[in-house]
Amino acid sequence: MASCLLRARFFTCRTDVRRVTTATQLHCSSVASGRQRVNGVDLYYEQTGRGKHAVLLLPGALGCTRTDFGPQLKSLNKERYTVVGWDPRGYGQSRPPDRDFPPDFFERDAKDAVDLMKALGFGKFSLLGWSDGGITAMIAAARHPHAISKMVVWGANAFVSQPDLKLYNAVRDVSKWSAKMRKPMEDVYGAEGFAKTWEAWGDGIAQYAERPEGSICLELLPLISCPTFIIHGEKDPMVPSIHPQCLLKHIKGSRLHLMPEGKHNIHLRSISSVRYVLWLLLPPLTVHVPGAGLRHYHGTRERGVKSGGGTC
């Protein structure tokens, strides 16, 4: 492979946000990596493209750029987008510190994400959030409406019900996972580190079930003002359909697409559908479905879903 160079950019930042390393090339597709000091921690990020539309990729629980968004960083249109993937604090290469799960860990991640993008020089950007990253994205969009252009979330939920806890507890013991399922996380954290961090995540997410209505961010959904696109795989084993319907109901003007054969990690199993999602991010946010086996619902419609334990 031919070697390429990508010059790092530097910006004047607040005293709590400073560049600690120069961006370095990862591979020939012009993906660069670096670490940025944000809110007292060094956050690892990867960046590619030179388009005017900046997009931040937000990974799922214990996830990072390496495990969750490799295909997107390699294949996105680099003329249209500038794409940033990041490892939230305590995940992936944003260690130390080790990950912890205080009662406000989603709020903390949202602040880190927005502050990272500001430190990298992006005053306005869009969000692509998967699973826990979708929760983080929704909080960021609600708390920082002037910074967020558009948002796409999938596999995300705004509350935790008792039925949800049963789903989480069923996968709590990673020794019962297949070796293939464990390998990506064990490669990042080691076998013991992965098991310990996953156990801690289980305790962290269970905190929300004790709150009124099990809310993670229910009260923030009406504050989201950016165009929002929700995707749901109808065969998602971890996120029942009541959750995307709840988001559709409470996020004004949002849109929902259902993928009949989709599971939890749609973006890794159906790359072509993700390209379609990113096409929708281009202004204006038009509603046109070029096949792809998707069903579309507009947020102004009332969608009724019956599900045990749902409060939304």
Residues forming the active site: 131, 236, 264
Within 10 Å of residue 79's Cβ, how many Cβ atoms?
9
Q: Can you tell me the distance from the alpha carbon of 83 to that of 92, in angstroms, rounded to the nearest whole number?
A: 18
CB 85 within 8 A of CB 73: yes
Q: Name every residue whose Cβ is closer than 8 Å to that of residue 198 and which is 6 or more positions away in sequence.
A: 61, 62, 172, 174, 185
275: its two tokens: 């390209």
Amino acid of residue 220: L
Q: Can you tell me the distance from the alpha carbon of 102 to that of 82, in angstroms, rounded to the nearest whole number?
A: 32
For the chain, what's the residue count? Answer: 312
Q: Phi/psi of residue 131, each to 5°?
A: 55, -125
Beta bridge partners of 259: 233
Within 10 Å of residue 203's Cβ, how many Cβ atoms?
10
Q: Can you tell me the distance from the alpha carbon of 150 to that of 283, in angstroms, rounded to the nearest whole number?
A: 9
Alpha helical stretches, state H, 120-219: 132-143, 162-170, 179-189, 191-206
Distance of CA 273 to the CA centre of its chain: 16
Q: Can you tell me the distance from the alpha carbon of 23 to that of 7, in angstroms, rounded to the nearest whole number?
A: 7
